[in-house]
Structure 1
Amino acid sequence: MTVSTSAFDDTDETPEPGPEPGDLIAPSLDDPLPNLGAEGVGGVMGKRARLRASVLARGTVAFVLIVLTLLTMSVGIGMREPCFNTAWTGGGNQQYTHMCYSDIPFMYQGRGFSNDQVPYVSTNQSDYLEYPVVTGAAMETAALIARHIPGDTNNQGRWFYLITTWFLLAFACITVVALAGLNGRRPWDAAMFALAPGLLLNATINWDLVAVGLAAVGLLAWARKKPVLAGVFIGLGTAAKLYPVLILVALVMLCWRAGKMRQWSLCLAGAVGSWLVVNLPFMIQNYAGWLYFYKFNDARGADWGSFWLFLEYNPIHPIVFSASRITLLFAVLLAFSCVAIGILTSLVRFRPRVGHVVFLVAAAFIIFNKVYSPQYVLWLIPLAVIARPRWRDFLIWQVCEVVYYGAIWLYLADLSTPNRGLPQVAYDMAIGLHLAGTIFFCVQVIRDAIDPRRDPVRMSGMDDPAGGVLDQAPDVYGFGSPAPKEPEPELEQVPSGSAAAALS
């Protein structure tokens, strides 16, 4: 929006220059919460100070973000120390009471890695793997190293965890660097990922960071207007965890409105191609072993942390659904949510940003999914960074996730040793809090999409830095009118899909 300068007409003072288009956004001047905490790190940035978007400046930001990410993950890995010493190889519920549980060491013996069994190749059904093939490849790579470690299988299982953490550290660093590139002049927003409580607590529970990193690189490639490369990484991410395919669902909504379906088709082709390249060999080698991941998820009932378990544990009026009924309802509710998000994308005055739509689609998937493992929050954190980079709302949501993280382990401790943990009613309340926190952040994102004056990114003078071909693109369908074929030469043309231009 334009601010009148008439107040300066009769004075001798020259107004302070504002940030130029090439300047990086200083968090202490942009976000109220970092502004309050700036005194601890030297104070709020001065009015005359400038952060030029040079290669050196961006490299410095990336280096600091990587250091913060490594520090956060190091604390999280250190929290596993009680389990590393005894709980992963012994009995009891110490892994729950100390909240240091991880799936990783159990998979070494539980899925045949300690016996030289190769995922999807072994025909022993007890060794079938309930993970997609890229995750299986990461597991097998770590196992190849762990099997050469001296000692018994328990010791090798510990090393299997340690080796896997190095992979996860690498993908976490890849994610934070990609996020710094996705937010244009706002690279410091990626610190929300680097310092996220969800990253600290959940990074090494499972292999989810592999898919998170691949999805982030795919989004960065899309932002750099490389749709085929973006599709390749989205396809690889989908071959690690299913959720990255939702990026394609979000992009088709935006590309349809902007008339960029050709670019979306190229992205889709890249995704399908890369997914087939890594999946076809195992489909041919052992189709039953490859299919086990999909059959396993289809047969699941109401599982930990899910909306369906919340209904089942509800003390007022418990509602129980069969596994097949939940599968059907999940598909219906997810489809309904995507249709609603598509309608929102088409009807709002200014086309939503990529971050808005991707976050909403992924959040709908998580809310209605059959299971919510604590590490699933890692899927949403990078999308939250590009959807609504505001620390207050982000931390409100993260506090809800921290409460749920503690609740799930204490409830499992109670199941292991009755009356020594969290009762079922309290755990049900924690599930409700997790759902409420996610819905709260969704509401903030929807409000930004409807009113760009609330959107921190667009109020920074940008349209959609993660949009790639969508950034500053005019609308073809939806609320906006098609761009004129022959624009008037004396008038400055503003793309109807560009909220930043309209608000400037």
Structure 2
Amino acid sequence: MNGWAKRIDPRWVLALTCLLGWAFKGHCGAYWGGSIQYVTGCYSDAVPFWGLRGVSAGQIPYLEARMEYPVLTGLLIWAEGFVTRTVFGASATAAHFLFVVAAVNAALAFVVLGMLRRAGVDRARQFTWAAAPPLVLYLGHNWDMLAVTFAVAGLLAARRGGTQVATALAALGSAAKLFPVLLLPLLGLGALFSRGSGGVGRRIVTAGVLVIIAIVSWGLVNAPVAVLAFANWSEFYTFSSARSGTAASVWEILAQSGRWATTIPERNVWSAAIFAGGAGVIVVLGWWRHGARPWVLFAPVLAWFLLTNKVYSPQFDLWLYPVLLLTSYRLWPVAWFALGDIAAYFTEFWYFAGLDGHHPAATLHDIALAAGFRGAAMLWIIGSAVLLPAPRWTKAPERS
């Protein structure tokens, strides 16, 4: 790395990135007109949630207000609403809430950077996180940074050999957003088939303990809310099942092009089947190289999940980006993925702008091209993860 880069602290770069992220979302304020939220890309879930989910009124998620997010994210939204009302008082608006959401996400981004630094991840990858384009796009978009932080913490715990801690963190992450659950089978398989871990009976017991830890960690968070307000608690799962898909998902692209139109139940079945089959192939092919560190396969499995899922919301790319920085042998595929993310983000929102009669306007064909570019980068990432070694830093666990 060049001398000037050695003198720059990645934390300063991350601070600038977070400021850009806030400027990107915050310039629209809370009152959108002329489809500005689509034309400029400043749309944020925080703005409609302020009024539509009882945040401004201080209603408790699930118990007093609807919430289509898992419990830990619902708790975070309530806490951020409390801070907004406390700091800004009666004059608090959705714009103030958006600022608090972005500030909390910025703090979580710094937590992730701190974990990378303590883990000994090389500076190039630290800078790649500190200057991450997805942070600019999604810092004020919604609340997925919470689950991202749990996922990164779980990966780093697994890297240190703390499989039980990693399991608890992944289970808690799935109580914030579902995707960290994909790490759990990899940790279980690692315990079940790891070399030098004793006989078959001992390995079965070790894997069973991980299953119990996952269930208890997830259950302690979810059970009280499920008992008290089952309908609102389960909305995340029923809402996810009932969704038809998003414009940038492969299923919607196929349907709009006339190649394969599917109903919602059909998409649920086919997407689950294709994901499960592909994930199995990824794990089997990648095991001979990464069997000692199966958590490395979380990146290609997650990428395959995003490609095959019926819903591909723009912010989902934030899930994958830091995981790639931890596990990808090369960073070039990550750069192409980031470019595809930017292209897919703006084409999708400009498509919505066009539906409202505003410009710039994109078409479904534009979305398909951007999503295809991003998808090609993700297939590259999956192939590289299976065939190439893991980064050097993953092979030297820290001793605490």
The reply to whether TM is greater than 0.5 is yes
2:67 aligns to what? Answer: 129
The answer to whether the 8 A contact 2:170-2:180 is kept is: yes
Q: Residues 429-449 of structure 1, C-alpha deviation per residue, up to 9 Å, x if partnerless?
A: 22222222211222222220x
- Per the TM alignment, residue 282 of structure 1 is displaced from its structure 2 partner at its CA by 0.5
Question: CA, structure 1 residues 70+466, in 2 after alignment: closer, same or farther (shift >3 Å)?
Answer: farther
**Where do residues 11-410 of structure 1 align in structure 2 (5 Å cutoff)?**
28=1, 38=2, 41=4, 64-84=9-29, 88-122=30-64, 127-148=65-86, 149-151=88-90, 155-182=92-119, 184=120, 186=122, 188-259=124-195, 260=197, 261=203, 262-314=205-257, 317-346=258-287, 348=288, 351=291, 353-354=293-294, 356-410=296-350
Q: Which has the larger radius of gyration?
A: 1
Secondary structure of the 1:147 match is helix
Q: Residues 278-335 of structure 1, C-alpha deviation per residue, up to 9 Å, x if partnerless?
A: 1111011111110111000000112232111111222xx3422111111111110111
Separation (CA, whole Å) in 1 of partners of 2:333 and 2:292: 19
Separation (CA, whole Å) in 2 of partners of 1:224 and 1:171: 21
Counterpart residue identity of residue 345, structure 1? G
Separation (CA, whole Å) in 2 of partners of 1:341 and 1:224: 23
Q: Residues 339-394 of structure 1, C-alpha deviation per residue, up to 9 Å, x if partnerless?
A: 11232134x36636445311011111111112111111111112101221533222
Question: CA, structure 1 residues 116+463, in 2 after alignment: closer, same or farther (shift >3 Å)?
Answer: closer
The answer to whether the 8 A contact 1:313-1:428 is kept is: no
Question: CA, structure 1 residues 224+349, in 2 after alignment: closer, same or farther (shift >3 Å)?
Answer: closer
Match of 1:464 among 376, 395, 399: 395
- Per the TM alignment, residue 268 of structure 1 is displaced from its structure 2 partner at its CA by 3.4
Separation (CA, whole Å) in 1 of partners of 2:37 and 2:43: 5
Query: Identity of paired residues, percent?
Result: 27
Separation (CA, whole Å) in 1 of partners of 2:395 and 2:61: 41
1:494 aligns to what? Answer: none
Q: Residues 240-283 of structure 1, C-alpha deviation per residue, up to 9 Å, x if partnerless?
A: 00001111122233333324545544443332212111111101
Separation (CA, whole Å) in 1 of partners of 2:109 and 2:385: 24
Separation (CA, whole Å) in 1 of partners of 2:255 and 2:341: 20
Question: CA, structure 1 residues 399+151, in 2 after alignment: closer, same or farther (shift >3 Å)?
Answer: same
Secondary structure of the 1:198 match is helix
Separation (CA, whole Å) in 2 of partners of 1:389 and 1:195: 19
Question: CA, structure 1 residues 171+266, in 2 after alignment: closer, same or farther (shift >3 Å)?
Answer: farther
Separation (CA, whole Å) in 2 of partners of 1:344 and 1:72: 37
**Are 1:413 and 2:353 counterparts?**
yes
Counterpart residue identity of residue 266, structure 2? R
Question: CA, structure 1 residues 208+173, in 2 after alignment: closer, same or farther (shift >3 Å)?
Answer: same
Separation (CA, whole Å) in 2 of partners of 1:248 and 1:171: 22
Q: Residues 115-151 of structure 1, C-alpha deviation per residue, up to 9 Å, x if partnerless?
A: 33211102xxxx4111000000000011112234345
Number of aligned positions between the proteins: 391
The answer to whether the 8 A contact 1:198-1:378 is kept is: yes
Separation (CA, whole Å) in 2 of partners of 1:410 and 1:71: 26
The answer to whether the 8 A contact 2:336-2:374 is kept is: no
Separation (CA, whole Å) in 1 of partners of 2:352 and 2:228: 38
Question: CA, structure 1 residues 333+398, in 2 after alignment: closer, same or farther (shift >3 Å)?
Answer: same
**Unaligned regions of 5+ residues in structure 1, if any?**
1-27, 29-37, 46-59, 469-504
- TM-score normalised by length of structure 2: 0.90
Secondary structure of the 2:93 match is helix
The answer to whether the 8 A contact 2:62-2:225 is kept is: yes
Secondary structure of the 1:89 match is coil
Q: Residues 58-85 of structure 1, C-alpha deviation per residue, up to 9 Å, x if partnerless?
A: xx99xx333322221211111124312x
Separation (CA, whole Å) in 2 of partners of 1:388 and 1:223: 14
Secondary structure of the 1:115 match is coil
Question: CA, structure 1 residues 429+466, in 2 after alignment: closer, same or farther (shift >3 Å)?
Answer: farther
Question: CA, structure 1 residues 264+105, in 2 after alignment: closer, same or farther (shift >3 Å)?
Answer: farther
Separation (CA, whole Å) in 2 of partners of 1:75 and 1:217: 25
Cα RMSD after superposing both structures: 2.5
Question: CA, structure 1 residues 366+467, in 2 after alignment: closer, same or farther (shift >3 Å)?
Answer: farther
